[in-house]
Amino acid sequence: MEKPDKSANTEPTFTNTTARITPFGNVIGFSAAKKRGHGSRSWIKIDQHGNAKVMELDKATIMRDCSLPSRDLRLLDPLFIYPSTILGREKAIVVNLEQIRCIITSEEVFVMNSLDGSVMQYKTELCNRLQMSKDHADILPFEFKALELTLELTCTSLDAQVKELTSEIRPVLDELASSISTLNLERVRRFKGNLLGLTQRVQKVRDEIEHLMDDDGDMAEMYLTEKKERMEDDMSHDSDIEKEDVDVVLPSAKWLSKSAPVSPVAPISPAAPTTGPPKLQRAYSSITRSSKHGSFTTTSSQREDIVQLEMLLEAYFVFIDHTLSKLSSLKEYIDDTEDLINIKLANIQNQLIQFEVLLTAATFVATIFAVVAGIFGMNFQASVFDNPFTFNYVLLISGVSCGILYFCFLIYFKRKKIFPV
């Protein structure tokens, strides 16, 4: 029996047993699900010169280049809803403020690409500012420029939303105060829900900025450019020290070999006196003094530089706090309107109760008149019916008695201040 030629089979074969076909004709298997779970996302890369470029990057590449854990990237995932967060890491600043999700390094900014207007505005504004600052002296480092623009756009966007909500809700509240209707109550209820959500978002941004201002360690972590320059200086300093050590050790080794042989078996104790030339001791003492002096100057300069970032954060903290105060005032205005509506409804209810009391008193008086009429309407023999004017006397006496009784009720209600008469 001739075996079929495998090379002639041009149809694809799926070795994945878990593959399935979607209603649209697409085949999804384990490999597709794995690729979908660890797929690339679109990022906008902006460098120090204001050049923007759209790139496809996966999580592993970003984690490796920016030295970030996966939980920090999870904060930037648009599929999840996380509150506003600003995190300072070793080589990057992770920012999640409203619609702007980005990773700021000392040289680049990676903004998660989106069709939202805030992202496009951030990209355009940052590129323009970086290109305009080429010919000027840089007062702020690159990471602070990117962070400042993020805070500026976020605070401005929230303040604009607060102004828009205020302009929409105040006419409705004024109309509701003048005329209470179901439609106006429903509109106010919807606006109040929007106000609550907006207040929570503004409060979270304010708390995040306040948390950064209260923690000097977090602010120090955000000096990415300074940390990078310090690391480069340390590396160059270490290389210079290694060269000096080589230059010092080689002549000392020659001097030792000429003076006395060294046993290869005897251990060298750290407490043993040094018999080499004094150059090595002077080099070691100078290195120790320079390292101590460098650590002290770094600590003092770091404390001074934190003031720069603290002033930057304080400016936007005052701005967002003012926005939060607007929301608080608007909420108080809504509460005052609700109190006014409740007072009006209570007044209307009191008027209905007063009218009901008057009707009840009138019904009682009319019931007495009806009792008299019922008594004289019975079928019995009496001498009263022989006089033709008796019926008129009964009507007159009953009516005057009922009127006097009703007037007595009114006087009683007035004295008890149940309602003004």
| Mean pLDDT (whole number) for 225-249 | 67
Question: Cβ(368)–Cβ(405) under 8 Å?
Answer: yes
Average pLDDT, the chain: 77
- Residue 185 CB coordination number (10 Å): 14
Residue 46 CA to its chain's centroid (Å) = 25
Greater pLDDT, 138 or 131: 131
Position 132 pLDDT exceeds 60: yes
- Residue 313 CB coordination number (10 Å): 22
Question: Cβ(394)–Cβ(372) under 8 Å?
Answer: yes
For the chain, the distance separating the N- and C-terminal CA atoms, rounded to the nearest angstrom, is: 118
| Mean pLDDT (whole number) for 327-349 | 92
pLDDT (0 to 100) of residue 240: 59
Confidence band for 113, pLDDT divided at 50, 70 and 90: confident
Question: Cβ(200)–Cβ(301) under 8 Å?
Answer: no
Spatial distance between the Cα atoms of 169 and 165, rounded to a whole number of angstroms: 6
| Mean pLDDT (whole number) for 334-348 | 91
pLDDT (0 to 100) of residue 284: 42
Single pTM value for the model: 0.67
pLDDT (0 to 100) of residue 374: 82
- Residue 367 CB coordination number (10 Å): 10
Q: What is the DSSP letter of 144?
A: H
Question: Cβ(13)–Cβ(29) under 8 Å?
Answer: no
Residue 157 CA to its chain's centroid (Å) = 13
- From the list 88, 395, 408, the residue with the least C-alpha distance to 223 is 88
Position 42 pLDDT exceeds 50: yes
pLDDT (0 to 100) of residue 216: 87
Spatial distance between the Cα atoms of 152 and 155, rounded to a whole number of angstroms: 5
Residues in the chain: 421
Least confident of 94-98, 199-203, 269-273, 327-331: 269-273
Position 61 pLDDT exceeds 60: yes
Least confident of 142-146, 303-307, 362-366, 415-419: 303-307
pLDDT (0 to 100) of residue 264: 40
Least confident of 56-65, 186-195, 239-248, 383-392: 239-248
Token reading at 183: 């439609």
Spatial distance between the Cα atoms of 296 and 226, rounded to a whole number of angstroms: 16
Spatial distance between the Cα atoms of 154 and 100, rounded to a whole number of angstroms: 8
